[in-house]
Amino acid sequence: MSNPTAAMLVIGDEILSGRTRDANMHFLAGQLALRGIDLCEVRIVTDQHDKIVAALNALRAEYDNVFTSGGIGPTHDDITADAVAAAFGVGLDIRDDARAILAEHYTRTGLELNAARLRMARIPDGATLIDNPVSSAPGFSIGNVHVMAGVPAVFQAMVAALLPGLAAGAALYSQNLTIPRGEGEIAADLKTLAEAFPDLSIGCYPFQRDGAFGANVVVRGADKAKVDAALVKLAALFPEAVA
């Protein structure tokens, strides 16, 4: 059986403007690989209701899981919950369990649970909460969509809470070699190797250091024995390569 598939929807003008560098996709990709969930697509969308709805509906129709980051905070431009509710055609309101979580947090910290902060307790009808041990305001899952915060520390904590409950597949095993040659010199041999191991992913990632060209070649697959066998052949083709 094939692994479950996933997409990520990154939401926020600050990402598209270049003011903020997204770190969540890199983290999520690594965690999903460990779980055997194949991340197949990542989109970044602006803070516009209709664009979020359209992207969300397209992705959730195609993939087993959709993970979103961003837009569930207390400010006026945090509209992800509204867009998710619209995409699923359900209501959105402050929910008692989410309110209780926030109330306990703000009582403990001595801060006011004001109207802005209470926006973070608005949950689409039928959704389940995702725990947030960092700042308490929960994420939520509805259908195959998992909605999480954009702040990296909070996003990572939510992913840790969420992933154990999702269907997993075969985790990917990977090996890599660094070859001190330009990718144009090694492309033909890599093509032959890829054809000999059709079940594996063989990626070539070129670089230039101190005026010299090289390439990191990464071999990935669910079958450790096949990955190791491919790496042995790769090393034989390029004896100067280093692990």
One domain, residues 204 and 121: no
Domain that includes residue 46, residue range: 5-165
- What's the pLDDT score for residue 243? 87
Q: Which residues pair with 213 in a beta bridge?
A: 208
Rounded distance, CA 31 to CA 33, Å?
Answer: 5
- What's the pLDDT score for residue 81? 98
One domain, residues 143 and 100: yes
One domain, residues 31 and 52: yes
Region 6-18: what's the mean pLDDT?
Answer: 96
**Does the pLDDT of residue 159 top 80, yes or no?**
yes
E strand map for the chain: 5-11, 38-45, 65-69, 92-94, 122-124, 128-130, 139-142, 145-148, 173-179, 201-209, 212-221
For the segment 69-94, what is each residue's pLDDT rounded down to a tens digit?
999 999 999 999 999 999 999 999 99
One domain, residues 154 and 198: no
**Which residue, chain included where needed, has tokens 């702040």?**
151
Structure tokens at 179: 């070859």
One domain, residues 154 and 213: no
Tell me the chain's radius of gyration from C-alpha atoms.
22
- What's the pLDDT score for residue 1? 64
One domain, residues 137 and 192: no
One domain, residues 153 and 190: no
List C-alpha distances in Å: 138 to 8, 82, 185, 218: 18, 15, 51, 37
One domain, residues 98 and 213: no
Q: How many domains does the chain have?
A: 2
CATH number for the domain spanning 66: value is 3.40.980.10
Residues counted in the chain: 243
Instruction: Choose the final residue of a domain: 165, 186, 214.
Output: 165
Residue 242 included in any domain: no
Residue 72 included in any domain: yes
Residue 178 included in any domain: yes
For the segment 21-58, what is each residue's pLDDT rounded down to a tens digit?
999 999 999 999 999 999 999 999 999 999 999 999 99
| Residue 121 neighbours by CB distance under 10 Å | 21
Instruction: Choose the final residue of a domain: 138, 165, 192.
Output: 165
